[in-house]
A and B are shown apart, each in its own frame.
Chain A
Amino acid sequence: MYLATTDAVATATDGRRSRGRVTGPVLALGAVSLVTDISSEMVTAVLPLYFVLGLGLSPLAFGFLDGLYNGVTAFVRLLGGYAADRGGRHKLVAGSGYLLSALSRLGLLLAGGATAGIGAAIAADRLGKGVRTAPRDALISLHSPPDQLGRAFGVHRAMDTTGALLGPLAAFALLWVTADAYDAVFMVSFCCGLFGVLLLVAFVPGREEPPPARRRARGPSAPRLALALLRHAAFRRVCGAAALLGAATVGDAFLYLLLQRRLDFAESWFPLLPLGTAAVYLLLAVPAGRLADRFGRRGPFLAGHAALLVAYALLLLPTGGRPLLVGVVLALGVFYAATDGVLMALVAPFVPPDQRASGMAVVQTGQALSRLVAAAGFGAAWTLWGIGTALTCAALALTAAIAGAAALLPRAAEPHGTLRRRTT
């Protein structure tokens, strides 16, 4: 059920093209992400403070709790995608994920000082995030005309990032007003998260009732579904390219650390680096998506990784001062703008609509796992050979990965209609 009769999807399917805006459901999903990200980034920003000052725990305890669930989310994501595809329950699965994360704030409030309770609350939050991501991206793709996927994801990611930028600001403002009442932050975050769920329930269209016979016929097990997806050459190639590039992606945290060592600027500026990157991402997400729609999605995706290569190069070259700072932050922002949403737009046409969430989960999980490996590898290389050599290796690996991905990525996007006809 669509929000308005003048919906862009409707007009698009009518053969007319509305270039000016994205569809109602995409805007609604963007609003849900914006509100949810305010909620979750509020908590993320104050959790370390709460741990160390509110509870008197040590940094190590915090680092341990925080790192505990990162690996788990990758697999939860696959499950979320699979569950959403069974019977087209994207809204239900995504909504449960959003609700679980919102409720986890109450868990933080109720846990008091008990680390076990806090650990459980953080786990619930991560679980919710893992579950909802793939169904949400599938919904965005299913509610956008195929030739405007890039823009749809661009708009969504821009709104999402806006929330991520506002969240910490809201949290620090709250702490300011209440003189460090962490419970107030958790409470406001809970209200905000719940509002996000309500927005989803009210304004994101639910399942289109499939004929019962078709619903029953669809039902391979999760691993078999993933394998079946990977049997499509084009999908396999996108997955491979994403994983290959992910394996050459050094984590931002490392780059910021390097930047700080090179420039030796006041440490109070350090938190502003990710903020700067997010701002660039926010500004460029929509233009990058539109470019991807107009000239093909593999171009921006590869160019985004080339921007990351520029960031590596800037850190390797004897540039210094402001050009280095601005250059790296800009390059990282471009990298995210041109790759994050664009990858989803790139892969969508190669996955039949009834397997969209699973397909996106497979790509995202592959990319996340290969990035995890890359970060560990870079850390090891830094330790073994020193920073210069490690970064040179990373730059060479990224160059090779870009070349490999350029060969792998399918050139022209097949319209998903042909693929659907072939698979169902």
Chain B
Amino acid sequence: MTRPRPTSLTTRPRVLAVAVAAAVLTTVAVTYTVRAAHEAPPTVTTSEFALDKGQLYFRSTQAGAGRVARLPLGGRGPRTTGGPTCERFHAAGGTGLCLLRRPGIPPKAYAVVLDGKLREKRRIALPGIPNRARVSASGRILSWTMFTTGDSYSGGGGSFSTRTSILDTRTGYLIKNMEEIPLTLDGRRHHSPDVNYWGVTFAPDDNRFYATVSTRGKTYLVRGDLRKWAATALRENVECPSLSPDNTRLAFKKRVRGGTSDPWRLYVLDLRTMRERPLAEHHSVDDQAAWLDDDTLAYALPGREGRKQDVWTVPADGSGRPELRIPGGSSPAAVR
């Protein structure tokens, strides 16, 4: 050990220097935070418009940021802002589903069921981060996915999981976490603690559904039956399926590259031939695509020109080219 030296002479300037630095850093941090707080959009639960047919609903990240907005489905009419605040939104058959988050300690998240006038009907408190939302064509069955993660001080770094819920709005029956559904994989009943489901999409009969399941590092397309409460894995490497209005095809994202740079491409799978076809979108799409009609898909991409996210459309048959439909938007949902 060293000999102690009298350091009182050098201690004071050091304390002073650190205090000055602390003051500067605090000022920077506070200024930045105050500015961010001023720019914060307000949260609103009411809506200035209803769920009307022939409209394309989406979450706006520009005018009325964080709130649901809409555009006429055919043609490029004006956009109407002023819907409820949602992180993720979907609507069909006179029912809306709004996933929202309320920051706080601890933060809270909710799935809010909305009626045809976009008024709140039911609110379900959920842990986690809103991720995917779907309403069946009839508006009766709802599903959403929340993403939960362990904090690093728990030592569980990298451990994440999804919780997918299914709600029958007519009976009010809620399955909070569907991961206990009996799953058949490669012809056998599959048991594993790491089973995770996300991205459910419903058939018009309000019974059959498709979803993603991940287990042991792989993802699969599963077909499920609500009444029988059973699920079967059909195909590997399918995420976030979305069933076409005519019930014949599934749009999905397929992992085409390992790693984190541009991992996914949009594909459409024909359910009769089980043949898949890549779409004309060459960017990596990380979204559950929405069918605007039987020929067109809409999805969100990271925004251009400083926008957070944009909604693009692309023909569902692999032809044509992607088109920018909604600058500054996400969560597209066509109400037909």
Q: Which residues of A contact B (CB under 8 A)?
A: 1-5, 7, 9-10, 13, 40-41, 44-45, 48-49, 52-68, 70, 113, 115-116, 119, 161, 164-165, 168-169, 172-181, 183-184, 187-188, 191-192, 194-195, 198-199, 202-203, 205, 208, 251-253, 256-257, 267-268, 270-275, 277-278, 379, 382-383, 386-387
Q: Bound state CA distance, A383 and B240, in angstroms?
A: 25
Q: Which of A66, A115, A180 lies in contact with B157, CB distance below 8 A?
A: A66
User: Are the CB atoms of A253 and B159 closer together than 8 Å?
Assistant: yes
Q: A116-B261, A252-B156 are in contact. Are A198 and B21 (CB under 8 A)?
A: yes
Chain A residues near B104 (CB, 8 Å)? Answer: 172, 176
Which of A5, A191, A198 is packed against the most chain B CB atoms within 10 Å?
Answer: A191
- Report if B39 contacts A (CB, 8 A): yes
Q: A4-B7, A268-B108, A387-B193 are in contact. Are A41 and B101 (CB under 8 A)?
A: no
User: Are the CB atoms of B302 and A274 closer together than 8 Å?
Assistant: no
Mask, B126-161, CB within 8 Å of A = 1, is: 111111000000000000000111111111111111
Mask, B193-236, CB within 8 Å of A = 1, is: 11010100000000000000010100100000000000000000
Chain A residues near B129 (CB, 8 Å)? Answer: 48-49, 52-53
Q: Bound state CA distance, A57 and B216, in angstroms?
A: 21
- Residues from 85 to 101 in B contacting A, C-beta threshold 8 Å: 87, 101
User: Are the CB atoms of B33 and A2 closer together than 8 Å?
Assistant: no
Chain B residues near A61 (CB, 8 Å)? Answer: 260, 263, 286
- Report if B162 contacts A (CB, 8 A): yes
22 contacts between A and B (CB under 8 A): A1-B5, A4-B11, A5-B6, A10-B4, A40-B152, A49-B107, A53-B87, A55-B302, A59-B160, A59-B198, A70-B157, A70-B158, A172-B106, A174-B33, A175-B103, A183-B32, A187-B32, A195-B22, A195-B25, A256-B150, A256-B154, A256-B156
Chain A residues near B2 (CB, 8 Å)? Answer: 1-2, 205, 208
Q: B149 — nearest CB in chain A belongs to which residue?
A: A48
Q: A66 — nearest CB in chain B belongs to which residue?
A: B158
Chain A residues near B161 (CB, 8 Å)? Answer: 59
| A175 smallest CB distance to B (angstroms) | 4
User: Are the CB atoms of B18 and A198 closer together than 8 Å?
Assistant: yes
Q: B193 — nearest CB in chain A belongs to which residue?
A: A382
Q: A2-B2, A56-B330, A273-B154 are in contact. Are A383 and B193 (CB under 8 A)?
A: yes
Chain A residues near B156 (CB, 8 Å)? Answer: 251-253, 256, 274
Q: Bound state CA distance, A168 and B148, in angstroms?
A: 15
| A8 smallest CB distance to B (angstroms) | 10
Q: Which of A65, A168, A177, A194 lies in contact with B151, CB distance below 8 A?
A: A168
User: Are the CB atoms of A44 and B151 closer together than 8 Å?
Assistant: yes
Chain A residues near B214 (CB, 8 Å)? Answer: 60
Q: Bound state CA distance, A208 and B194, in angstroms?
A: 51
Q: A47 — nearest CB in chain B belongs to which residue?
A: B149
Chain A residues near B32 (CB, 8 Å)? Answer: 183-184, 187-188
Q: A11 — nearest CB in chain B belongs to which residue?
A: B4
Q: A181-B39, A270-B127 are in contact. Are A66 and B151 (CB under 8 A)?
A: no
User: Are the CB atoms of A181 and B150 closer together than 8 Å?
Assistant: no
Q: A60-B214, A274-B150 are in contact. Are A13 and B1 (CB under 8 A)?
A: yes
| B125 smallest CB distance to A (angstroms) | 7
Q: A261 — nearest CB in chain B belongs to which residue?
A: B193
User: Are the CB atoms of B286 and A62 closer together than 8 Å?
Assistant: no
Can you add 17 more A-B contacts, CB < 8 Å, to A59-B161, A178-B33, A187-B29? A53-B129, A58-B286, A65-B260, A68-B260, A70-B157, A113-B302, A115-B261, A175-B103, A177-B33, A179-B43, A179-B103, A198-B21, A202-B14, A253-B150, A267-B163, A271-B106, A383-B193
Chain B residues near A274 (CB, 8 Å)? Answer: 150-151, 153-156
Q: Which of A3, A59, A164, A202 lies in contact with B147, CB distance below 8 A?
A: A59
User: Are the CB atoms of B1 and A379 closer together than 8 Å?
Assistant: no
Q: B38 — nearest CB in chain A belongs to which residue?
A: A178
User: Are the CB atoms of A57 and B286 closer together than 8 Å?
Assistant: yes
Q: Bound state CA distance, A187 and B191, in angstroms?
A: 44
| B98 smallest CB distance to A (angstroms) | 14
User: Are the CB atoms of B149 and A277 closer together than 8 Å?
Assistant: no
| A74 smallest CB distance to B (angstroms) | 13
| B57 smallest CB distance to A (angstroms) | 17
Q: A258 — nearest CB in chain B belongs to which residue?
A: B193
Q: Which of A172, A251, A268 lies in contact with B125, CB distance below 8 A?
A: A268
User: Are the CB atoms of A175 and B160 closer together than 8 Å?
Assistant: no
Chain A residues near B128 (CB, 8 Å)? Answer: 267
Q: Bound state CA distance, A115 and B128, in angstroms?
A: 22
Q: Bound state CA distance, A198 and B29, in angstroms?
A: 16
User: Are the CB atoms of B160 and A63 closer together than 8 Å?
Assistant: yes
| A178 smallest CB distance to B (angstroms) | 4
Q: A56-B330, A172-B103, A383-B192 are in contact. Are A191 and B149 (CB under 8 A)?
A: no
- Report if B335 contacts A (CB, 8 A): no
Q: A178-B37, A257-B193 are in contact. Are A191 and B151 (CB under 8 A)?
A: no
The 9 tightest CB contacts between A and B, nearest first, are: A253-B156, A274-B154, A179-B40, A67-B158, A181-B36, A184-B36, A178-B36, A191-B25, A10-B4
Chain A residues near B10 (CB, 8 Å)? Answer: 1
Q: Which of B152, B194, B309 lies in contact with A44, CB distance below 8 A?
A: B152
| A208 smallest CB distance to B (angstroms) | 5
User: Are the CB atoms of A60 and B18 closer together than 8 Å?
Assistant: no
User: Are the CB atoms of A179 and B41 closer together than 8 Å?
Assistant: yes
Which of B41, B153, B287 is packed against the most chain A CB atoms within 10 Å?
Answer: B153
User: Are the CB atoms of B130 and A115 closer together than 8 Å?
Assistant: no
User: Are the CB atoms of A66 and B160 closer together than 8 Å?
Assistant: yes
User: Are the CB atoms of A183 and B101 closer together than 8 Å?
Assistant: no
Q: Bound state CA distance, A324 and B149, in angstroms?
A: 23
Chain B residues near A45 (CB, 8 Å)? Answer: 151
Chain B residues near A198 (CB, 8 Å)? Answer: 18, 21-22
| B230 smallest CB distance to A (angstroms) | 21
Chain B residues near A115 (CB, 8 Å)? Answer: 260-261
Q: A169-B105, A277-B154 are in contact. Are A52 and B22 (CB under 8 A)?
A: no
Which of A164, A165, A174 is packed against the most chain B CB atoms within 10 Å?
Answer: A174
Q: A116-B261, A178-B40, A383-B191 are in contact. Are A271 and B131 (CB under 8 A)?
A: no
Q: Bound state CA distance, A271 and B159, in angstroms?
A: 13
- Report if B281 contacts A (CB, 8 A): no
| B17 smallest CB distance to A (angstroms) | 7
Q: Bound state CA distance, A205 and B155, in angstroms?
A: 31
Chain A residues near B263 (CB, 8 Å)? Answer: 61
Q: Bound state CA distance, A112 and B48, in angstroms?
A: 32
| B56 smallest CB distance to A (angstroms) | 18
Chain A residues near B287 (CB, 8 Å)? Answer: 56
Chain A residues near B8 (CB, 8 Å)? Answer: 4-5
User: Are the CB atoms of A172 and B7 closer together than 8 Å?
Assistant: no
Chain B residues near A65 (CB, 8 Å)? Answer: 260
Q: A62-B160, A63-B158, A175-B103 are in contact. Are A183 and B36 (CB under 8 A)?
A: yes
